[in-house]
Structure 1
Amino acid sequence: MILGSKDSFAIEFEVDPIPQGASEEHIKYMRYFIPGRMCFWVNHQQIGDYDLGGSLSVAAADLPTLLEKTGRRYAPALNEESAEKAFHTINDALYIDKGQPDEQVRQDWKTYSGFIAIPMGFDVFDEWKAFLVEGDQKARYLWLNYDEGVVHEAILAIGEFEACIQEFLDWFDEYFHDSKDDPTT
């Protein structure tokens, strides 16, 4: 299933089918962890290892944190920088240890973590970093794949990213609301 538009921003995902003859315990496990595949599409470029697959429940658990950051991505100064400079300004503040004091690390996280635009802790996205920077008229989705080492950029409409994330979460809640019984209990 694809939500959004590959032309700008989309989430592609599918749920793995329950194998024929699966035990009730295995079915309960699958309904809780919801194994499947997911990736983002930005400007017709895939972000995430769709074929790796993983638990869609893990992605759904982190995606609300991306929505909570709505309103914290407005940065006119960063929006004027080149894609590479803006990406590295955010990335370096969040992830590069330059020997800065703990207070600076906390302040940098507070200032820059709102730009994170990829689910954390979901294996399919482990080889990527992505940030969303908003200005008055546009949002810039900036991403890098570690293997490639090149910063990419796509221009999105303000709110487009959040709308697609919310659409996935609404789908997830609608179809799997009653299947979250923990199989380990």
Structure 2
Amino acid sequence: MRFGITDRFSIEIVLDRVSGGDWLFGKICYWVNGVEVGNFDEGTSLRDVLFMMTTIVADGSHRICPKLLEFSNEKTFSLICNALDDEDETIYQYLPEDFQPARFDIRIPVDVFDDWKIFLVEGEFDAKLICRRLGAGDIEPVVMLRQGEFDDVLRQAYDYLDNIYKLAQS
């Protein structure tokens, strides 16, 4: 099942034929600007994905920082990455008070996404989704979305997994 538009942003989820009951073994990846982000072929527990998505879903519409959209992809990526790694606090001069940079991190923290850093910064009308595979030189892929587009797709995927999980428990 694919949610969203692959050439912009989508989430692909496939439940294994033998899913292990409520473990929900299967596959997941993001598609960003037509590029697969994550290791879809590796497979994972989609139950764990569901649980780990909760924070990202809750952060919906709370990633607004127009100033970061004005910067180059590299600068935006570096500011966020350095803040999350506690290497530099420069980003805080561009953020609203009490804003946590972790909100920008939209990588689902499960094994199939371990090789990626994935950030989303939103403005009033648009958003920039920036990805980098660990060890790669270039920031790629990058896509401009409309504000809230990522959250809409994420919510659809979350609801789908939640319904499957509830069925597996009954």
**Distance across 2 between alignment mates of 1:176 and 1:111:** 30
Distance, in Å, in 2 between the alignment partners of 1:142 and 1:78 is: 12
Which structure has the larger Rg over C-alpha atoms? Answer: 1
Q: Structure 1 residues 143 and 180, CA, compared in 2 at 3 Å: closer, same or farther?
A: same
- Name the residue aligned to 1:145: 133
Q: Percent identity?
A: 30
User: What is the TM-score normalised by the length of structure 1?
Assistant: 0.81
1:52 counterpart letter in structure 2: E
Letter in 2 for 1:63: M
Q: In structure 1, which of residues 146, 163, 175 is the aligned counterpart of residue 164 of structure 2? A: 175
Task: Please give the alpha-carbon distance, in whole angstroms, between the structure 1 residues aligned to 2:16 and 2:99.
Answer: 37
Spell out, residue by residue over 1:72-92, the C-alpha distance to the aligned partner (whole angstroms, 9 max, x if none): 211111110001100110000
**Could you tell me how far apart the structure 2 residues matched to 1:80 and 1:67 are?**
25
Q: For residues 85-116 of structure 1, what are the alpha-carbon distances to aligned partners after superposition, in whole Å with 9 as ceiling and x for unaligned?
A: 00110000111446x8xxxxxxxx95201111
* Count of equivalent residues: 162
**Alignment pair present for 1:51 and 2:41:** yes
> Unaligned regions of 5+ residues in structure 1, if any?
19-26, 101-108
Alignment of 1:154-173 (within 5 A): 154-173=143-162
CA-based RMSD: 2.0
Q: Which runs of 5+ in 2 are unaligned?
A: 90-97
CA–CA distance in 1 between the matches of 2:107 and 2:17?
A: 26
Q: Secondary structure at the match of 2:60?
A: coil
Structure 1 residue 132: Cα displacement: 0.4
2:79 and 2:139 map into 1 onto residues whose CA distance is 12
Partner secondary structure for residue 124 of structure 2: coil
